[in-house]
Structure 1
Amino acid sequence: MSGTDTAAGADLVTYELRGDVALIGLNRPVKRNAISDRFVEAIFDAVVKAQREAKAGVIFGHGAHFCAGLDLSEHSEKPLFEAVQGSRRWHAVFDQIERGTIPWVAAITGAAVGGGFELAASVQLRVADEKAFFALPEGQRGIFVGGGGSVRISRLIGPARMGDMMLTGRSVSAADMERWGGVSYVVPEGEALDKALELAARTAQNAQFTNYAIINALPRIADMSSEDGLFAESMVASLATMTDDAKERLRAFLEKRAEKVQAPE
């Protein structure tokens, strides 16, 4: 299946399948792709669809910006408990990306602010246009991160740098965010989506079980003690070698049908 999806929510999120890679486009450019509750549900539906149909996925923003974060006009009217439930729903939806069944790459252009940065932090690989910028203006808005940023962003760049961003409201360039560990690649202006597609297509060629283990075992091992992590690693490594896919790939390497690892260009 290919082409643009026309199901419910396609006005907020576009969906396209290119080979083994699903492209999810945030499609609210007049609001800099600010996220509402309905937007979150549209993202969820597209992610679930991608997990059925694709081996890897890319998330990008239509227009000039990736995502400017929470739709404050909606959030400001919520009762307390509804706000708690909304935050927990964001957690559940973004968890489908972070610890789902396929790897995800974010192509970040323009603003990745607040909830947009939280969304980007839930993927496995982040590609930033050199003109992209990152910010967490919650301190100035009188709110707090609610889409998982206190865990995901903090683990990417460290709590001190995240606290700096929230307290001061400073914008951080793509180059600085790469240096901090918040993005994986910085590319020339206009090339983020192409690079994200290239990386997603590459990950789609990996063994399915290994991709699943990288997505799901690595972050859990990071939460364990050293000894527990090493034990879990042994179990996952042993399971991986038992799959038919792994056996065939190892056989191909030993029979010189697979390329050796090369030095970087």
Structure 2
Amino acid sequence: MSEPFLITSEMDNIGIITLNRASKRNSLDEAAIAEIDDYFSNVPSHIRVILMTAEGDHFCAGLDLKEHHDKERSAVDFLRVCQGWHRAFDKIQHGGIPVIACLQGAVVGGGLELASAAHVRIADTSTFFALPEGTRGIFTGGGATVRTAKIISASRMVELMLTGRVLNAQEGERLGLAHYVCNTEDNPKTAYDLGLELARKIATNAVLSNYAIVSSINRIADMASTEGLFAEGLMAAVVQTGGDVQERLSEFVNKKAHKVRPKS
């Protein structure tokens, strides 16, 4: 029996999932996608934040091309595979729980599609990003045209796919593929350490507020302005009449809450 693709653990109210196929650069086959779908369909109720990490030198090198080659899928077969990826990654992005991805090495093709579904992305200096589908004679199928293109723009995605150009961690950060770059002079922490630090901070937010942030903002961005403003107002009305709002506002009114200040 093969080892599971995901290793799962918990640290208080933080769920930790680790991609566990380092020998294949954590490439994604049908079984791996099924495990991701299953985990994000059944997240324990006490988990407030999820940290996504990977074994080995690479986060994820994308679609398992050997499986794809060996199965010789028909167009309908592969459409169903793509729909499975879409379902699994939608549960990451829209599941209501913040997901932080700690990146290293290859974040390529389907690996970039997986990372794009996370809400916070932390890269170390070994991280590189690419969409090599054009050079492989294939096309993205795990949601890049929706998720990744929204991050970097459709025009930039076209250029990356046509040329096969590889972006380093700093270039990826400038385009929004990473929110932080670690192991640098300015930020000497590891991606995992910073990810855990941010996870602990995010876990202290109001649960309903976190849910609204990760579930509604991307959906509202897809709406026309009028519908988006209405949806925003509805979400604000729900969140700002939640159970712990008065307590948190009372701390602010009584000058017990932290102040927002620039970094020194």
TM-score range, shorter chain: over 0.9
- Unaligned stretches of 5+ residues in structure 1: 1-7
| TM-score normalised over the length of structure 2 | 0.93
1:231 aligns with 2:221: no
SS where residue 88 of structure 1 aligns? helix
Separation in structure 2 between the aligned mates of residue 249 and residue 83 of structure 1, nearest angstrom: 49
Separation in structure 2 between the aligned mates of residue 88 and residue 264 of structure 1, nearest angstrom: 43
Q: Report Cα offsets for 1:132-188 as digits up to 9, x if no partner.
A: 000111001111001101110000001111111111111101101111122111111
**Aligned counterpart in structure 1 of residue 148 of structure 2, from 134, 153, 159:** 153
| TM-score normalised over the length of structure 1 | 0.93
1:117 aligns with 2:112: yes
Amino acid at match of 2:19: L
**Aligned counterpart in structure 2 of residue 36 of structure 1, from 29, 34, 55:** 29
How many equivalent pairs are there? 258
Amino acid at match of 1:131: S
Q: What RMSD, in angstroms, separates the aligned Cα atoms of the two structures?
A: 1.6
1:188 aligns with 2:183: yes
Partner of 1:14: 7
Partner of 2:16: 23
Separation in structure 1 between the aligned mates of residue 56 and residue 10 of structure 2, nearest angstrom: 20
Identity of aligned pairs, percent?
41
Partner of 1:242: 241
Amino acid at match of 1:11: P
Shift of 1:9: 8.4
Shift of 1:256: 2.3
Separation in structure 1 between the aligned mates of residue 2 and residue 13 of structure 2, nearest angstrom: 22
Amino acid at match of 1:230: L
Shift of 1:47: 2.4
The worse-fitting range, judged by mean Cα deviation, of 222-231 and 157-166 is 222-231
Q: Which runs of 4+ in 1 moved over 6 A?
A: none
Partner of 2:138: 143
Partner of 1:5: none
Amino acid at match of 1:42: E
Change (3 A) 1:263 1:115: same
Q: Report Cα offsets for 1:190-232 as digits up to 9, x if no partner.
A: 7111111111221111111111111111111111122221121
Q: Report Cα offsets for 1:18-71 as digits up to 9, x if no partner.
A: 111111000000000000100111122222343534100011110110000000
Partner of 2:93: 98
